[in-house]
Chain A
Amino acid sequence: MNIQAWLSTIDHKKIGVLYMLTALFFFVVGGLEAMAMRAQLSAPNLKFLSPEVYNQIFTMHGTTMIFLVVMPALVGFGVYLVPLMIGASDMAFPRLNALGYWLTVGGGFLLYVSFLAGGAPDAGWFSYAPLSEKTYSPHAGSDYWALGLLLLSAGSVIAAVNFVVTIASLRAPGMTIRRLPLFVWITLVNSVLILAAMPALNAALVMLLSDRLLSAHFFDPTHGGSPILWQHYFWIFGHPEVYIMVLPAFGMISEIIPVFSRKPIFGYGFVAASTLAIAFLSLGVWVHHMFAVALGRVFISVFAAASMLIAVPTGIKIFNWAATLVGGSIRFTTAMLFAVAFLLEFTFGGLSGLAFAIVPIDWQLTDTYFVVAHLHYVAFGGIAFALFAGAHYWYPKITGRLMSESLGRLTFWMVVIGFNLTFFVQHILGLMGMPRRVYTYPDLPWWGALNVISTFGAVILGLGALVFCCNLITSLVFGTRAGNDPWDAWTLEWAAESPPREDNFDHVPTVRSRRPLWDLKHPEAPDWATPGGG
């Protein structure tokens, strides 16, 4: 393998793979951080980690998983798949594409070099002022945090611009906006959301850096600044960010469930439109992260209503995925197992999220382990399960070989069992009054027992992730050769070779419906000739 060719590449497939490998690397790092936390919390009053170290680790775990795992993984899948799915030979701006990736690497480097420069950031992934101000966090960790995130968000904006232009201008003839594969459709909406949300984060980071390095007082109440201002700015970015991370996962699930149910997606138009509704609503719900601040009831109620409304388009998606299963001929590959598990885990996480839109419940449960449980049901049970599904589904396209199904099944059961053991009990801990972000806790009835169950689950989950990594590596050598279209799928990427040649396609099939390869394989009953299918 030619290292220089990889480092200087502007091929969207190589850049996509680099993104995914970067995400995998940081997934291991963030996972080890999680293990260290679970070790410290496995019994009351443990002294395995000092509060200083614990606070750095939970801050880095959250920041890493969001900005260095989920974001690069999803952008990586997008960069790899979008041109193939629309029948293009590359992204619209290949050099910009490479820049976006290298900014991500730079951001990750800045975040982690802080360990060698006097201590990692330790004010949590949302870094509330004034705790993150110089007065209360004098060491440079928070500066590295803000600078690292600036690079990472610049990388995301670049990727988003590139997606919008690529999807707008490079689609194969016949691929109208209503015939886009749902993954591409959702990536388009998501890119617009990134462009809307990221500026708020960048502004907040610049203000924080001004406070810390130039003695400005944006967030300092003793000089007329406002700590609440930080919260508004951060969550104007932060809540859309949750959807920015979960929408591409929805896109993957919307590709995988139909193929393995052997049926087209149920209600394409509703799945697509509900994405728009989610993106729009997500820009108006940020205050539900701030319900515990004394803000005024009418103001809060508006945001509560908007937050609850998001349940409707999300429900539409879940029902459409479930309806796609009904009447199908379901093939349980590892990818499909993860996709079906996603459906249940994500529904669960979505419902526990509804609790936080119900303001009085939020007034009890926000910033407890109930939140930790909820967000992991969405972030792991939702996003990570979709990524596992996507990895097993597209690995043969990317490498030319199938992943081992037996190792895949082992991964699946270990991850499902480990994940639910780890996080289900945390709901109960939150209800019992355990705050989040504590490095230790008193020996109250059941707290020790529930925490040790959680830690035990985390070990199983960690080992499951290890099996997954082994499968990724060994299948490169021992995997069965996949051929162009191992799943008998319908979108254009499966018409390319596996792995695709440098310019992707020899010849792009004609697109006359949402399932061009179905039409090709079934000239007797093409979708474009079926009512509702074109």
Chain B
Amino acid sequence: MFHPQSPEAHAIATLFMYFLVLAAIIFLMVVAIVAFSVVRYRARPGDTDPLPSFGHRRLEITWTVVPLVLVVAIFVFTLRTMAEVDAPLEPDRPPDLVIIGHQWWWEARYPNGATTAREIHIPAGRRLLAQIESADVIHDFWVPQLARKMDAVPGRIGYIWLRSDVPGTFAGACSEFCGKQHAGMRFDVIAEPEAEFAAWVARQAETPAYDPGERLFRERKCAECHAITPGDRRPYIGPPLAHIASRKFLGGNLPNTSGNLTLWITSPQSILPGNRMPDSRLPADELQALTRFLETRR
């Protein structure tokens, strides 16, 4: 939230700064009154009880009315910023991408059939309408530097504006507790120049060249939980792997290297304990073949 990179995130950060200044002034005022009293009116030996005072009507009215005026002002600013940063509840056009929360990973679907997980690419400088959904429990899609957060509620659809003014990688996290690996539901939004994004999204929709490893992938039942062809949008338990090799990270924050890929295939529970993929024992040659196969899925 400290380094907003979109007009929407910027507007919220500015509002927060206004709030911070106002809150600081009020807090320091109370501190000043208390500190003054503590020093000035500390009991000294021999003090007798001061004369009672039971209140002061004009003072009471002052500290009722002044906060009331402040609250009205804050409310006006709140409404203005809400209208500025929030996408309509029922937009009049199809979304630019659909983001779906799963236990415990994020899926992103693009209109051309491309489907990806964990790394969500967007074109820098263009405002996208993102539709937020959930496949199971409530999650929350949050990229602090780019946009407001939005709960992903099963059976309900939310929309946010998603945009970045500059190319870059922006960390995101699930912000609603969603079970064992809530902490592992981290993701990145990658903003690229328009041309690079177009190339990326086109490539993600293409099927990579056939590789004999695919037979093993199906025989070892990997395909029961993972889509391996782009555009296959049946409700899988695990993330799509059609272009897994083009991603920088595997689940959580594990870099996508050969060694880590092998580790993920055999013992995902040691990486993100409690996630939905069971540990497995495979002969060394099959493990190697599967790793090699996945590395061709770019």
Contacts and interface: CB of A to CB of B under 8 A. Distances in A.
Contacts of B19: 354-355, 358, 361
Contacts of A328: 37, 41, 50
A413 B14 CA distance: 36
Given A264-B52, A322-B34, A51 B180 contact: yes
A261 B54 CA distance: 13
A293 interface: yes
Nearest to A348: B27
Could you say which interface size class chain B belongs to? 35 or more
A276 interface: no
A363 interface: yes
A308 B79 CA distance: 13
Q: Which of B136, B153, B174, B177 has the most CB of A within 10 A?
A: B177
Contact of A367 (B30, B41, B175): B175
Interface string B153-196: 11111110000000000010111111111110010000000000
A268 interface: yes
A228 B171 contact: no
Contact of A305 (B49, B75, B148, B157): B75
Interface in B40-57: 41-44, 47-50, 52-56
A406 B179 CA distance: 46
B53 A431 contact: no
A294 B78 contact: no
Given A221-B155, A270-B55, A55 B15 contact: no
Contacts, number: 266
Interface string B110-124: 000000000000000
Q: Which of B34, B54, B137 has the most CB of A within 10 A?
A: B54
A367 to B, nearest CB: 4
Q: Which of B34, B52, B71, B180 has the most CB of A within 10 A?
A: B52
Interface of B: 1-2, 9, 11-12, 15-16, 19, 23, 26-27, 30-31, 33-34, 36-38, 41-44, 47-50, 52-56, 59-60, 63-64, 67-68, 71, 74-75, 77-79, 81-83, 85-86, 89, 103, 132, 136-138, 140, 142, 144, 148-151, 153-159, 171, 173-183, 186, 253, 273-274
Interface of A: 50-52, 55, 123-124, 128, 130-131, 136, 221-222, 226-228, 261-264, 266-270, 292-294, 296-297, 300-301, 304-305, 308-309, 311-312, 315-316, 318-320, 322-323, 325-332, 340, 343-344, 347-348, 351-352, 354-355, 357-361, 363-368, 431-433, 435-442, 444, 527, 530-533
Given A320-B60, A363-B85, 15 more contacts: A50-B273, A227-B138, A228-B156, A261-B41, A263-B49, A264-B52, A267-B55, A292-B175, A294-B89, A319-B59, A328-B50, A357-B78, A361-B15, A364-B144, A532-B55
22 contacts: A51-B180, A130-B136, A221-B153, A262-B47, A267-B55, A267-B59, A292-B140, A294-B89, A294-B132, A301-B82, A312-B68, A326-B36, A328-B41, A328-B50, A329-B50, A340-B38, A343-B34, A354-B23, A358-B77, A360-B11, A363-B86, A444-B171
